[in-house]
Structures are given as C-alpha cells and as structure tokens.
Structure 1
Amino acid sequence: MNNATPITRHVMVTSPHYLASMVGARILGTGGNAFDAAVAVSAALGVVYPHMTGMGGDAFFMLYRAESKQLIGFNGTGRAGSRADIPYFANRGLTSIPLRGILSAVTVPGMVDAWWEVWSGNGKLTWEQILEPAVEYAEKGFPISRNLREWICRDERLIRSCPAMAGTFLPGGKTPHLGDVLTQPDLAESLRLLQREGRDSFYRGGLMKRMIAEMDRAGGLLTESDFSSHTGQWVKPISTDYRGYRVYQMPPNSQGFTTIMMMNMLEQFDLKEIPRQSADYYHLMTEVVKRAFRDRDLYLTDPEFADIPLDRLLSKFYAERLAEEISLERAEERLSSAMGQDTAYAAVVDGEGNSVSFIQSLYFDFGSCYMPEGTGVIMQNRGSFFSLDAEHVNGLQPGKRTFHTLMPAMVFKDEAPYLLLGTQGGEGQPQTQLSILTSVLDYGDTIQEAIANPRWVYGRTWGQNSDTLKVEGRIPASEIELLRGKGHLVERVGDWDGLMGQAQGILIDREKGCLHGAADPRGDGMALGW
C-alpha cells in the first residue's frame, strides 16, 4: 500500500488522482509555472474526481511567489444567495437545510473565480491552454478509477434521483466498472464556453444563464444577480511559530486556525518522550483537537458577520491555559457537529520556487447530488452546514459565507517554503494535518512516511449520536485498549481506511536541493516531477 516517494531536483506535483498530477507535470513541461499548473490540476480534478470536486464547488489557494518572496491566500468561497434565508426554510416546516437536492445548493460556487484570480495575476500560459487538459478528459473520456467507482456504487440511489447525474455517471442506466471510460460531454461544452469567454461565462454569461434557468425550474434559490455579484477574496494567511518552523493556514471562514491552536498547545509537551504509535500519542492529539474544536464551533463563520477573536485564540498564552486543562490519563467528553468530508487537496512547486498549496470541494460526495440539465456541473451543498437558528454564530443569512472545513497549509523554514500539505476530510482535515506535521517536524519522518502513518479521526459522522475516536486497524490492539482505559469511545476501522481521508504533500529540502513528493496510499493519487 505504501507509495514510493519521488525525489526530484526541479519540479513536483501531487494530487489525489494520477491523471490530474500528470496534467500538472504536462503544464510545467510546456513552459507553465506553478500557478498555471495549480489551476490546470484543479480543473482536471473536477473532471476525473467529480465525486470530490468540480466547477460547482469552492476552493482555497495558498500561493508563494518566489520572486517577491510573498505568501498570499485566495478565499474562493461562495456566499449564500439573496433568497436563502431562515424564514424561507422555516415557512416550509424545516428545522435544518436539506443535505441533498436543489435546496441544499444555496451558495454560489467560488471555484471558477478562484481559478481566474490565481491564473490572471500570476500565470504564464493562456487561459485556454490551462483548461485544455480538463476539456480533453471530459470530451474524450478517462478510465474510471478505484475511488470514483466506489463512490458511484455507494451513492447510486442518490445519483439516480437526478436525471442529469444519472445520465452522466450511470450510462445506460448501469453502474460502471473499474476501467470503463467515462465521458462528460455536457461538462466538456461548459468548459469550452469557459475557455472562450473566461470566468464571466460562469458568473455573467451563457453558462450562468443556462444553470440558473435549470435551477429555477427545479425550485432553486440562487439567482443571476447572486452569480454576477460574486467575487472571491485575497487574504493574508495566519501563522504561528512551532519549534523553529512557521506554520501557515488560511484565516476564517476556513477552520485553518484550529491547527494553529493545536500546534500552540503541543508546544507545551515534549513529544520526543511520547512514542508516535503509542496510546499516549493518540490520546494527547485527541485532547488537543477537542479544545481547538470547542472554540472553532463557538466562533467560526464568515468574519464579515461576526467578531472572531483570533488574537486571543492564536496566542501562546491562551494555548498554555488550554494545555493545562488536558489530563494525560483521562479523556474529556464532548459532542461535536457532524459534517461532510469529501475534498481534494493538491500541491505544486515549480523550478523557480513558486509554490501552491490548494484544496477544493463539493462538500459531500457528489455535493448536492443535483446537476443543472445540460451543464455537467454538480452543484455543491456547502451551504447546508448553515444553521437555521438565528442566534447561532453560523446562522444562515443572504450574502454570508459558511463555516468552511477547507484548509490548505504551508510550513516555512528559514523564511522559505519547506512543507506543503493538506487532506480530504471535514473534521479530519485539522487532525490529519496534525498527524503529518508532528510526524515530520517532531519525529523526523519523511513526508511519505508521515502520510502513510496509522491515522485517527475524532468526531461525529452523520447518523451517529456520540463522538468516537476512529483509529486505523494497524494501531496495535494493546494501544487501543489503553485508549479505551483512558475513557475514549474507540472504533477500530480498516488498516488503510478511506475514512481517514486522502492527504498529499511536498517537502522542499533546500540543503540538498531536492523536492520530496507524497500521495496518500488510501486514494488514487500520485506525486511526480523531475
């Protein structure tokens, strides 16, 4: 199951699908830079990994511009539509936003705008060139991978509920097999429109009008003005020092600050005295997670609609106080909110040192499971995480961006990028980052070893009424029993379980002049370069 770690001298690309990784390498090989390659990979993932991401979703990009030595982030989050408010749902007797279907698609997709912004100010190739690989895979088809096949089978009933989705992913009404060639002609045409007309095709032009017309017929809430008024946002990443490294995350509405809180708490403990595969390690990680999530759930939403006390949350003093609460012998009880976990993370480093860490999602697998007829675009259900409680910090309001699980990361060493990392998963994203960061920075693992290490996910998934600590089966039974003895409700899952998400990473070894790439053996990914 363990992927080999490619080590190269010039460029590196990693993504959760081998075809998308090869697209990135192809773009770099034809004169593009990391920004071109990142957008090309992102677009290709929307075609070959449609259960995880696509044009109908959101994205976050973290960019390092080598020439100016500048790190900047782009928040490609869509806002709730102008007709999406609490009374609309309350008047229909609903106490929560539906998880699937047209009424779960209440936020404007921010993906395409993010592509345009990342490329237009930084890229070297033309817009048409960087979208062409995605168009080719949609038009000419690609072999269905293991992961896509698994999710089509798992979601077959939902897919059949939407004629456009069924026509795309269940050709001839049958479930496709591994290696069957999947074509998406409607998506290919939408991408062609995007090539010809630029981002405005999606937000103001023909593609937008086609999507809105179909959504109106289905009873949707998004309007033409919701799309035409959309813009993403350039932001300054937030960070902390951790044992001589600088860890960067995206600011709210991303949950990235939780990992910074966790790292600050872990600085209060000597991890070298705690073996990486021990019950003590998993216990400490879980207790750190609980305290960060407690504040996350209390404060995280669109910062334009609420005061988020980041200065306090990210302070070392506050971390010391939180660390003092942790018992190394007994687990704290907590009940979390259930959330979606399906996401695609990728990273690119080019020969000039430009680096892009980025992540994108439809929220749930196949998002809302609604596709406007004739477009091939799956709409996200990210807005279903809004609360219909007007007093809740993440309560639904028109124009508001929801609490967002997406969080690409970058670590600097000696004021330059050292590690790019991220992962699939809702609750799991901060936790898997914690696993990778401690494995590399504290235990000296390679990036591939860090990603392959046995993982855990603490939290609640849909349909459960309690939080469990899910651990991979490779963790010794004796350590699991010790965790249970500390009060954890432990659930043992598969040895390489997809529940743990799919992580990718690139480590930049400047002393040796090498790039180390890694893709998660739990998925269909690949890292490659030269």
Structure 2
Amino acid sequence: MRTSLLSVFTLLTIFNINYAQDRVTGQPFATRSEVLAQNGMVATSHPLATQIGLDILKKGGNAIDAAIAANAALGLMEPTGCGVGGDLFAIVWDGKTQKLYGLNASGRSPKNLTLDYFEKEGLEKIPALGPLPVSVPGAVDGWFELHGKFGSKPMTELLAPAIDYAEKGFPLTELIAFYMQRSIPYYESQGFPNIEDTYMVQNGGRLSNEGEIYKNPYLANTYRKIAEGGRDAFYKGEMAKTIANFIQEQGGFLSKKDLASHKSEWVEPVSVNYRGYDVWELPPNGQGIAALQMLQILEGYDFSNIEFGSTEHLHLFTEAKKLAFEDRAKYYADMDFVNVPVAELLSDTYAEERRKLIGERANRYEAGEISAGETIYMTVADKNGTMISLIQSNYRGMGSGMVPPKLGFMLQDRGELFSLKRGQANTYEPGKRPFHTIIPAFITKDGQPYVSFGVMGGDFQPQGHSQIVMNLIDFGMNLQEAGDAPRWDHTGGNSPTGETPEGTGQVRVESGIPYTTVRGLMDKRHKVGFTRGAYGGYQAILWDVENQVYHGASESRKDGQAAGY
C-alpha cells in the first residue's frame, strides 16, 4: 500500500499536480481545514497529548499548565522524540503583561570531563551514543521554571494524566510504533543495559505494534516523584544518584554535582521584522537566529513576482540558507562562554552585504566577518490570551542509549553537537551548553500576538521556520496549508561540530515540488536529491485579533492533532 501510494505521489509530482488538496476549500496544499475555537487551543504531535492539554484548559488551567501536562504525556507517548532525559526551550506570550518571555532550559556538559580527555582518547568527534555525549537533562527544571512564573494548577494535577496513561497503558500510534521498532533493536544491539527492561519487559517482553497497548510503569513512578517532590526530586536525592552512578558505571562523567547545580535561564527573545511582521526566536546556544538571518536576506527579494515552489524561489532560499549556516558554524555557541554578535548578525546592513553574494548559480560561501538534531514541538493558547511555543527533545530520536535503571526514560546525547577542534566558538568545555538544534518560534504583528509555531527536525528547523513564515506572509497560505505545503531542505556546508564538507551540498525536495523546478535547480548547478522523513513536524496556533478566534494547525506528516474549545 505504501509503495503504491509513493508511486502515485511521484507521478503526480512529475506531472506537476498538487495532490495534497483540501476537498472542501480547494486550497492547493491543505490536507484538512484549520481548527477554530474561541476559548483555547492545543496543537501537539499526539492526539492523546492534545486532549490532555485541552482537558487542563477546560478545568481552568492556563496555557502553561496545559503545555506541561501535554509535554509530560509526550515523554511517555512519543519516547522516540522527547522525554525528561532531554532539554527544553520555550517562548511565552503572557496575556497579562502583554510581552514575550524566553526560556532556555538546556543542560550543560559534565564539569569533570575536559577537552584533554577526548584528545588523549584520539577522538575527533564526540560519539553519538553511549555515556560521553550525555549532558544534564534540562526539561524537568524547564517545567518548574515555567510553572513557577506562569502556572496556576498544582504539578500533581498536571502530571496525573500522564501517570495514569503510563500505568494503565495507551495504544501506540502508527509512526511511533514504527520508530520504536526501528530504534529499540538497534540500541539493544549496542549492548546498552536496561533497554529491554524499560521498553519491552513491561509490555509482555516484546515490542508493541501499532494499536497495541503500551505501558511504562517506571516512568509513572518517576513522574509521581517529580509531581510530589518538585524539581529537586529529579536533580537531587535518589533519582540524581541513580542517574549519575549509572553514567559513571558506563564510563561517563555526569555527576550528582552536575545535576544539583543545573539551572535554566530566562532570556530575551530576539527578532527581525519581515514585511511588517516581527518574527521571534531565542538567542544561541540554539540555532533560531539562523532563521532570522535567512529572512533578513530573503526580504530583499520581491516574492510577489516569484511563484511558490519555483526554481527561483528554491534557489534564493537555498543560497540564503547557505549564507546563514556558515555564520551558524562560526559564531553560534553558549553565550556564557563566547560573545556571539547577535545584533550584528541580524542587522539590515549585514544582510545586505550577504545578499550581494547570491548569484544565478549555486555557490559555496564562507562565514561573514563581524567586527567587534527527532524532537517534539507543541503550542498552547488559553482564554486569557497567553500562548506558549514549546520544543523538547532528546536528540537523535530516543537519545544516547543510556537508560538509568527503573526510571523509565533515556538520557539525551546533545553533547555530540560540541566541536572538538580547539579555538572554535562551540568547542567543548566543562560546564558549557552545546550548540542546540531545537528552536521555538513566534510571530507578532503591531505588538500583538499573531502565530505561535515551530517545525522540528534537526538542521532543518531554521529552514522550516523560514518556509512557514514565507508561506504565510509571501504566499498567503492559511495556517494548515502553510504546514502541508511541500518542503525542501539543503544539506552541506560547515557545521558547529567542526565538520567541513566540500562542495555546495544538496537540495532535497519533497513530493509536490514540480519536476520543472528540479530541472531548473540542476540548470543552476544545484545537486538535487529526494528523501523521506527529513522535513520536520509542524504545529501552530494563530490568533485572529479581529474576530477573537484561535486557528490551529497540525502536521499532516505526523500523528498529531490540533483541538480547541
């Protein structure tokens, strides 16, 4: 069935037919209508998590309460993308103060692990799996920071639905079942302990299939301890001791002191104005400003005369991406350790200089001179006008393969994203936050909230953010259509991890990009390819200030749902 559908899609693409057309509205790319509601909206990558968030809103909770409850559910229901072993970032529009707040809840590297260690071991890159890439998981502290500043209901009530599902079980969705059946055997083959006990023994000793009931009683117990004991139940005491001892037994360096000293950071979101709309991201150590740099460059072109999905559209977009990502490789890092020239990188003057480098053909660029990785994304809005844009991840799907005994989750491997080359902005140091791929986004218009959105997917995320902004603003798509429209990405170029591949990289296009565009890109000397599953996962909520109505949209490439009341 899947193969035949793919063949049909390929034929439709070749003949330039937009198969993804809404049957009611006739919108060329929408797979479904937008969801509309007045009192609140939740959009996540799992329908049950969406319903949990919606229930919290209906019971009088606010957007932050609902987001925490839904995120906890996703850690259970979508362990292939997130969990309490990972990090978290959020942008909050507070309906009371009428302003944006940014939270960086990413963890730091072990203080006892040095660059010298990697050099003595002869490592040129931090491994993707095992104990060495494990950094402090920041998600739980992120929950409590959000809750302490904005929350209204007790954490025991917010985590109760996820605890109940973890104990009683829930049916696995198609996509997550597929990912788990592909991931778990691989981790097992590496000889990592506690994989079978955590993910299989509790479910009859085998991997669950789509539609079968999946349980995680260990995670239920972990959530209960967090709900009752607060963030210290995770970062101090027995749970922290279990995590630290396990990592050190496996040859790693994460310690109880690393966990106990962890703290999140409230940061000021940064923005650029794109054709009258302010697009907001968080500053590094994340890659959000890459999307802003791309938009600054692309604003210099008149897209009212450029067709969506055309050769010119993809060419200009790809070249802008290359320029921004070279700066990403050189400058983006933990701002507690290096001076990242954010203002200069986002300035109109710098964008104009970089734009001049774009020609008619694919090119290779270097970073400008400045003087001076699977994830979940979700968003919630409430009746008081508060909106939260939240992204959370373990990196590389489920993470490092390191599963502490009887806690029910896997630890992240974000440390892989450090560079081991001395003298770079993102070079490994003890107690440093690694370069991060996960980024939430927000759009305001005339000082009022407009769209809370995100597009997960590693290096694709700034590209996805920019594509969504352009779809909404340049091409006039509605919220659902903007996410369902065919996507593309560019791979290649220098990386914050120190990798320096040759050539101009590759443009990979999704079904729905016309074959004439593919030929046109080839004529401009782009290398063009095709891939599946690399184009992220989108959720979004739009506030229609005129009608006082929320619009919700959910990613058609995932299992998700937008719902409101």
TM-score range, shorter chain: over 0.9
Distance 1:156 1:207, change over 3 A: closer
**Structure 1 residue 133 and structure 2 residue 133: aligned?**
no
Match of 2:260 in 1: 228
Deviating 4+ runs (over 4 angstroms): 460-466
Match of 2:296 in 1: 264
**Structure 1 residue 66 and structure 2 residue 95: aligned?**
yes
Q: CA separation in 1, counterparts of 2:406 and 2:33?
A: 41
**Structure 1 residue 333 and structure 2 residue 368: aligned?**
no
Aligned residues: 521
Match of 2:557 in 1: 522
Distance 1:211 1:196, change over 3 A: same
Superposition pairs for residues 439-454 of structure 1, below 5 Å?
439-454=471-486
Question: 1:137-173: CA deviations, max 9, x gaps?
Answer: 2221111111211212222432313332223334455
Q: CA separation in 2, counterparts of 1:429 and 1:248?
A: 14
Q: CA separation in 2, counterparts of 1:165 and 1:28?
A: 35
**Structure 1 residue 346 and structure 2 residue 378: aligned?**
yes
SS in 2 for 1:248: strand
Match of 1:499 in 2: 534
Q: CA separation in 1, counterparts of 2:200 and 2:215?
A: 11
Match of 2:180 in 1: 152
Cα contact 2:323–2:366 (8 A) shared by 1:
no
Q: CA separation in 1, counterparts of 2:93 and 2:551?
A: 18
Q: Please, what TM-score do these two structures have when normalized by structure 2?
A: 0.89
Cα contact 1:17–1:525 (8 A) shared by 2:
yes
Question: 1:390-446: CA deviations, max 9, x gaps?
Answer: 222211111101111111011001211101110111110011111110010111100
Distance apart, 1:507 and its partner CA:
1.1
Distance apart, 1:93 and its partner CA:
2.5
Superposition pairs for residues 121-520 of structure 1, below 5 Å?
121-160=149-188, 161-171=191-201, 172-327=204-359, 329-333=360-364, 341-460=373-492, 467-493=505-531, 497-520=532-555
Question: 1:11-68: CA deviations, max 9, x gaps?
Answer: 1110111111111101101110011111111111111111100001000011111111
Pick which of 207-216 and 507-516 moved more: 207-216
Cα contact 2:439–2:461 (8 A) shared by 1:
yes
Question: 1:301-348: CA deviations, max 9, x gaps?
Answer: 101111111121010111111111111x20113699xxxx31111101
Q: CA separation in 1, counterparts of 2:457 and 2:366?
A: 18
Q: Which amino acid aligns with 1:481?
A: R
Q: CA separation in 2, counterparts of 1:125 and 1:347?
A: 18
Q: CA separation in 2, counterparts of 1:379 and 1:334?
A: 36
Distance apart, 1:460 and its partner CA:
4.3
Match of 1:10 in 2: 39
Pick which of 110-119 and 165-174 moved more: 165-174
Q: CA separation in 2, counterparts of 1:206 and 1:523?
A: 37
Match of 1:25 in 2: 54
Pick which of 15-24 and 228-237 moved more: 15-24
Question: 1:453-480: CA deviations, max 9, x gaps?
Answer: 0000111499998621110022111211
Question: 1:183-218: CA deviations, max 9, x gaps?
Answer: 111111111111110000111122112222222222
Match of 2:6 in 1: none
Distance 1:156 1:322, change over 3 A: same
SS in 1 for 2:324: helix
Q: CA separation in 2, counterparts of 1:17 and 1:413?
A: 29
SS in 2 for 1:358: strand
Cα contact 1:164–1:376 (8 A) shared by 2:
no
Cα contact 1:84–1:396 (8 A) shared by 2:
no
Match of 1:36 in 2: 65
Distance apart, 1:273 and its partner CA:
0.6
Q: CA separation in 2, counterparts of 1:437 and 1:333?
A: 25
Cα contact 1:28–1:34 (8 A) shared by 2:
yes
**Match for residue 56 of structure 1 among 85, 94, 101:** 85
Q: CA separation in 2, counterparts of 1:321 and 1:11?
A: 43
Cα contact 2:326–2:366 (8 A) shared by 1:
no
Distance 1:30 1:416, change over 3 A: same
Distance apart, 1:492 and its partner CA:
2.1
Q: Please, what TM-score do these two structures have when normalized by structure 1?
A: 0.95
Superposition pairs for residues 97-112 of structure 1, below 5 Å?
97-105=126-134, 107-112=135-140
SS in 2 for 1:207: helix
Distance 1:121 1:175, change over 3 A: same
Match of 2:119 in 1: 90
Distance 1:158 1:102, change over 3 A: farther
Pick which of 457-466 and 216-225 moved more: 457-466
Cα contact 2:277–2:443 (8 A) shared by 1:
yes
Unaligned runs of 5+ in 2: 1-19, 21-30, 368-372
Question: 1:98-140: CA deviations, max 9, x gaps?
Answer: 10112221x1011000000001121111011111112122221
Q: CA separation in 2, counterparts of 1:113 and 1:156?
A: 27
SS in 1 for 2:354: helix
Cα contact 2:240–2:256 (8 A) shared by 1:
yes
Distance 1:262 1:200, change over 3 A: same
Q: CA separation in 2, counterparts of 1:245 and 1:58?
A: 29
Unaligned runs of 5+ in 1: none
Q: Which amino acid aligns with 1:257?
A: I
Cα contact 1:343–1:423 (8 A) shared by 2:
no
Q: CA separation in 1, counterparts of 2:216 and 2:502?
A: 39
Cα contact 2:291–2:466 (8 A) shared by 1:
yes
What do you get for the CA RMSD once the two structures are aligned?
Answer: 1.8
Q: CA separation in 2, counterparts of 1:177 and 1:402?
A: 35
Distance 1:502 1:411, change over 3 A: same
Cα contact 2:247–2:402 (8 A) shared by 1:
no
